[in-house]
């Protein structure tokens, strides 16, 4: 307990403490598992207080000793190459990595860097794919949107409203049609570049995944 407190007592001041204790969790009373969950996530010992408060209404009290044992085991796993890797893959910050024992920080950080690189490459693929999908959507639906607006213009012409009001609404629709044409032109111009960027990002991701398979970080 003393080692745990000295390492992570203040970490809840740096991140929002959360608890996921359901009624079943509280009544089951597996406080070792709860502690392990918080420890491997470096959530901070203050999470025990949040969990205990959540269980009060269900008539359950925490087992501090079992929670501490679980947290200790979880935190030990956190400060490992795999623990760092898992944090990196999730794209999490490691501003609090200095809570790990100094002799374990290098392996933790090495794992983190490997996971973070994988996370960044996946994000690059996702971003490039979103660009391609966005341009493709414009090319697929833009012409239909233009037709719809032209039909709306014809309907407005037959409406029993003032000529001034008709002109105002029709001019607005023509402006919108022009904007759609501009979007389509840009999509035609940019989609090839976006597809090229996506292909390159996918290749880099595939190469790095192959590298990790051949050189596992933990």
- Residue 114 CA to residue 3 CA, distance in Å, equals 28
* pLDDT score of 4 more than 50: no
12 pLDDT more than 50: no
Does the pLDDT value for residue 14 go beyond 80? no
Of residues 182 and 16, more confidence is placed in: 182
Least confident stretch, 39-53, 135-149, 175-189: 39-53
The DSSP call for residue 98 is G
Are 81 and 113 in contact by the 8 Å Cβ rule? The answer is no
The radius of gyration of the chain's CA atoms, rounded to the nearest angstrom, is: 28
Q: What is the mean pLDDT of residues 102-108?
A: 94
Exposed/middle/buried for residue 62 (C-beta within 10 Å: 0-12, 13-18, 19+): buried
Asked if residue 29 has pLDDT above 60, the reply is: yes
pLDDT at 97: 65
pLDDT exceeds cutoff 70 at 118? yes
């Amino acid at each position: 307990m003393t080692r745990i407190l000295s390492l992570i007592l203040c970490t809840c001041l740096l991140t929002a403490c959360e608890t996921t204790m359901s009624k079943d969790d509280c009544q089951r009373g597996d406080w070792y598992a709860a502690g392990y969950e918080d420890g491997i996530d470096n959530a901070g010992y203050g999470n025990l207080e949040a969990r205990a408060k959540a269980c009060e209404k269900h008539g359950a009290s925490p087992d501090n000793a079992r929670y501490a044992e679980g947290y200790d085991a979880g935190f030990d796993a956190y400060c490992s190459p795999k623990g760092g890797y898992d944090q990196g893959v999730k794209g999490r910050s490691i501003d609090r990595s200095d809570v790990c024992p100094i002799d374990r920080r290098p392996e933790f950080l090495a794992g983190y860097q490997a996971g973070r690189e994988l996370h960044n490459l996946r994000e690059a693929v996702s971003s490039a794919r979103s660009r391609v999908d966005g341009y493709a959507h414009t090319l697929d639906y833009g012409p239909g949107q233009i037709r719809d607006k032209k039909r709306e213009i014809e309907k407005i012409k037959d409406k029993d409203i003032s000529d001034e009001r008709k002109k105002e609404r029709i001019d607005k629709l023509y402006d919108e049609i022009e904007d759609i044409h501009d979007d389509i032109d840009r999509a035609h111009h940019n989609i090839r570049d976006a597809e090229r960027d996506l292909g390159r990002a996918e290749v880099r991701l595939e190469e790095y995944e192959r590298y990790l398979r051949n050189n596992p970080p933990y």
